Structure 1
Amino acid sequence: MPHTKDTVKYIAVREINYHNGQLVEPHCHRRGQLIYAIVGVMEVVVGNKLWLVPPQRAVWIPPSVVHQMRARGAVELRTVYFSPDVVPHTFSAQPMLVSVSALLRELVLRSLESPTNQDPYDLKNRILALILDELGVLLREAEHSLPLELQLPQCQDRRLGKVCSAILEDPGCPRGLDEWAQLVGASKRTLARRFQSEFGMSFLAWRQQVRVAAASSRLDQGEPVTLVAGDLGYETPAAFSAMFRRVTGVTPSGYIAHSPAHKIEGLYASV
């Protein structure tokens, strides 16, 4: 890693705002990128993997990895670019969802301000060096966290694509495979085979994963379990909790207790 005095040459923080539904087409950067929204939810796609990224999370995109993004609601993005020369070999070579610590959030926000002290260049360098160090810690922690990415279809079957896109837009949609088959002009058996060949699981299992990803994003933002459960089509919070635990291994309350939002609230409450 370059000496701290040179960090400003290797790391840059940018502020970008997106309107609801705005799409950033597939692209890549020579630099690594941390995609972090302080407001709104960003949908990030790499290959056949999708992350729903609320303000308590961010996605690490290694250098030269093709990705695309879409805003869910108005999004205020704070993205950090890292030159390959400064990215440690210990950083993941694969895209990864990370929890945003209180320290990382404040460092990113502070780096966009214009210091008024007598030595702003040195201050900027120290802030950027700390961003790199803190991201390294969070990436190591993320290796042991719940995998919250969704698998997307890779085949060219437009019927399967229509079903998956509709469920991603409305995870709580109650339609079963029979109804979807009629809507997209396929047999139930054909769609069932497509889900197994594409995802290695049934339609119901894949839809549950979509619901868990959507629920996790909302729980991270502090929404009540009862509200999330109802919006996702569950008659009772208990039924939702049973599904959530079956897919993730933890209950919604257990997930919330370890969420970055809960940790940040606890930190400020103890000050």
Structure 2
Amino acid sequence: MPKPIPPTIRFVSPSKSVEALQAAAAPVAAFARELEYRDWLTAHSHERGQLLYAVDGVMQVRTSQGVWIVPPLRALWVPPNVAHAIRMLTRVSMRTLYIDPARAPALGARCRLLEVSVLLRELILALLQEPVDYAADSRGGHVGALILSELARAPAIPVEIPWPNDRRLVAICEAILEDPGRQFVLADWAGIAGASERTVIRLFPRETGLQFRHWVQQVHLSEALVRLSRGDPVGVVAQALGYKSQSAFSNMFRRALNEAPTRYLQREEKLRVAPGRPPSQ
């Protein structure tokens, strides 16, 4: 698993109260926690699957397989027993679920970034008001059942940053993650790792399954989702990510996600003002 340590980072241990939730009789258990910017939840895993969600704030989640950036209105499904570390890129109001995987087979055995509907968000908040040991025929039981129903139909977002093992590629990937809009050509990135361009081109598909430019595109998409979710105009996002024009960025976004960024931004704005949406920190 990647192990960069940014300055002023504060390592935080997973809450001990989460351990009790793994043995809950109910199929879905909810948990809330407030975390600060640069808090880092050290690598850990759970017996249950976890829906990592925050009503406010942005998280970076790392496993041995990849990195995901999780903004509000999105959630990351982490299957049971998958070790993951979580870095807070802002203050985060985490509202997460622990789910019996047998009751949610559609979520699968791989990490996936999911859309969170207004209904699902409100159901998560509602379950937090219920006791952990709620009965199946109680309000908590009905809310839990509705959560599983919503999750079964939640659209997956095809954005994932696969992670290499080769130390030279790791150095390049960390540098790009820290500054996605940096205007470097391949030779510049290769120089960071002390490798040749040829070596980088050869190793990236073997280590990540993606060509270098496609890997960078996944980073750009992840950053774009975060910026659009907070209301940044499309032109501002394109410029921040180093695109020569808004149309070049829009074409890349549309090809990858089958949706224009302007339409995506409009949907985000509607969701941000939906009833029950907490104000941004």
TM interval, short-chain normalised: 0.7 to 0.9
> Could you list the per-position Cα deviations for residues 104-156 of structure 1 after superposition, in whole angstroms to 9, with x for gaps in the alignment?
222222333479xxxxx6799423532442343333332xx441122111x2x
Q: Quote how far apart the aligned CAs of 1:262 are.
A: 4.9
SS at match of 1:73: coil
Correspondence 1:1-271 to 2 at 5 A? 9-83=26-100, 87-113=103-129, 125-142=138-155, 145-153=156-164, 155=165, 157-256=166-265, 259=267, 261-262=268-269, 264=271
- Determine the C-alpha separation between the residues in 1 that align with 2:189 and 2:29: 46
- What amino acid is the match of 1:112? L
What count of residue pairs does the alignment treat as equivalent?
A: 251
- Determine the C-alpha separation between the residues in 2 that align with 1:124 and 1:69: 35
Residues 68 and 101 of structure 1: is their aligned pair in 2 closer, same or farther, counting only changes over 3 Å? same
User: Do 2:130 and 2:140's aligned partners in 1 also have CA atoms closer than 8 Å?
Assistant: no
TM value normalised by structure 2: 0.77
User: Do 1:107 and 1:127's aligned partners in 2 also have CA atoms closer than 8 Å?
Assistant: no
User: Do 1:98 and 1:139's aligned partners in 2 also have CA atoms closer than 8 Å?
Assistant: no
SS at match of 1:141: coil
Residues 18 and 240 of structure 1: is their aligned pair in 2 closer, same or farther, counting only changes over 3 Å? same
Q: Quote how far apart the aligned CAs of 1:9 are.
A: 4.1
Residues 24 and 98 of structure 1: is their aligned pair in 2 closer, same or farther, counting only changes over 3 Å? same
User: Do 1:104 and 1:131's aligned partners in 2 also have CA atoms closer than 8 Å?
Assistant: no
- Paired residue for 1:4? none
- What amino acid is the match of 1:218? R
Structure 1 residue ranges without an equivalent (≥5) = 1-6, 116-120
Identity among equivalent pairs (%): 40
Residues 194 and 108 of structure 1: is their aligned pair in 2 closer, same or farther, counting only changes over 3 Å? same
- Determine the C-alpha separation between the residues in 2 that align with 1:88 and 1:137: 11
User: Do 1:30 and 1:84's aligned partners in 2 also have CA atoms closer than 8 Å?
Assistant: no
Q: Quote how far apart the aligned CAs of 1:90 are.
A: 4.3
Of stretches 49-58 and 190-199 in structure 1, the one that deviates more from structure 2 is 190-199
Runs of 4+ in 1 over 6 A off after TM superposition: 121-124
User: Do 2:201 and 2:211's aligned partners in 1 also have CA atoms closer than 8 Å?
Assistant: yes
SS at match of 1:97: strand
- Determine the C-alpha separation between the residues in 2 that align with 1:98 and 1:205: 21
> Could you list the per-position Cα deviations for residues 196-255 of structure 1 after superposition, in whole angstroms to 9, with x for gaps in the alignment?
322344322221221012112322333211111111112321121122223334321243
- What amino acid is the match of 2:79? P
- Paired residue for 2:7? none
Of stretches 44-53 and 123-132 in structure 1, the one that deviates more from structure 2 is 123-132
Q: Which has the higher helix share?
A: 1
Residues 248 and 101 of structure 1: is their aligned pair in 2 closer, same or farther, counting only changes over 3 Å? closer
Q: Quote how far apart the aligned CAs of 1:265 are.
A: 5.6
SS at match of 1:137: helix
User: Do 2:107 and 2:152's aligned partners in 1 also have CA atoms closer than 8 Å?
Assistant: yes
- Determine the C-alpha separation between the residues in 1 that align with 2:158 and 2:234: 20
Q: Larger radius of gyration, structure 1 or 2?
A: 1
User: Do 1:13 and 1:111's aligned partners in 2 also have CA atoms closer than 8 Å?
Assistant: yes
User: Do 2:49 and 2:80's aligned partners in 1 also have CA atoms closer than 8 Å?
Assistant: yes
Structure 2 residue ranges without an equivalent (≥5) = 1-23, 276-281
Residues 106 and 229 of structure 1: is their aligned pair in 2 closer, same or farther, counting only changes over 3 Å? same
